[in-house]
Structure 1
Amino acid sequence: MGGLAAVILTINVAVLLAVIIVLRLRRRTQARKRSDEQLTVAIVLVFGVLVAPTGFGQWILETTGQLAEGITRSGTP
């Protein structure tokens, strides 16, 4: 039961971080400071770590891999 609660908590934190990322990225880029950009990068990295072991994260990994493989194959004669 403890493992299930940890998975649910991880997914909830990931959803919260996704909302924060969307809100931060909607702001005007001209008004951002370097520290603001660094905070956004840190939030995105934590989001990636939380989403990676989920089914959605695995789907993104497989899709990106297939896309990269297709691009590589199309570039070779």
Structure 2
Amino acid sequence: MLTINVAVLLAIIVILRLRRRTHSRSRFDEKMTVVIVLALGILLAPTPVGQGILSFLGQVASGVTQASR
């Protein structure tokens, strides 16, 4: 039996959509990409990977804040 993780599938779709040329995208296409990225974020947020990304981004933001003082 083959199972596909929805988050992995959405990540692949996002990568494929973002590789397309910018000027060949319609407004609807851009909005659809945003919706897919938001759905991917919602799926990743409660996972350990999502928590790790949040922690990493928090450390980067803290470092930037400290460096700007």
**Structure 2 length-normalised TM:** 0.92
Corresponding pairs, count: 67
Runs of 4+ in 1 over 2 A off after TM superposition: none
- Which protein is richer in helix relative to its size? 1
Partner Cα separation in structure 2 for residue 74 and residue 23 of structure 1: 36
Partner Cα separation in structure 1 for residue 60 and residue 14 of structure 2: 25
Residues 1:42 and 2:42 are matched in the alignment: no
Q: Which runs of 5+ in 1 are unaligned?
A: 1-8
Residue 72 of structure 1 deviates from its aligned partner by: 0.3
Same amino acid, percent of matched pairs: 58
* 2:17 paired residue among 20, 24, 29: 24
Aligned to 2:59: 66
RMSD over equivalenced CA pairs, Å: 1.4
Larger Rg belongs to: 1
Deviation per CA, 1:17-47, whole angstroms, max 9, x where unpaired? 0010011011111100111000000000000
Q: Which runs of 5+ in 2 are unaligned?
A: none
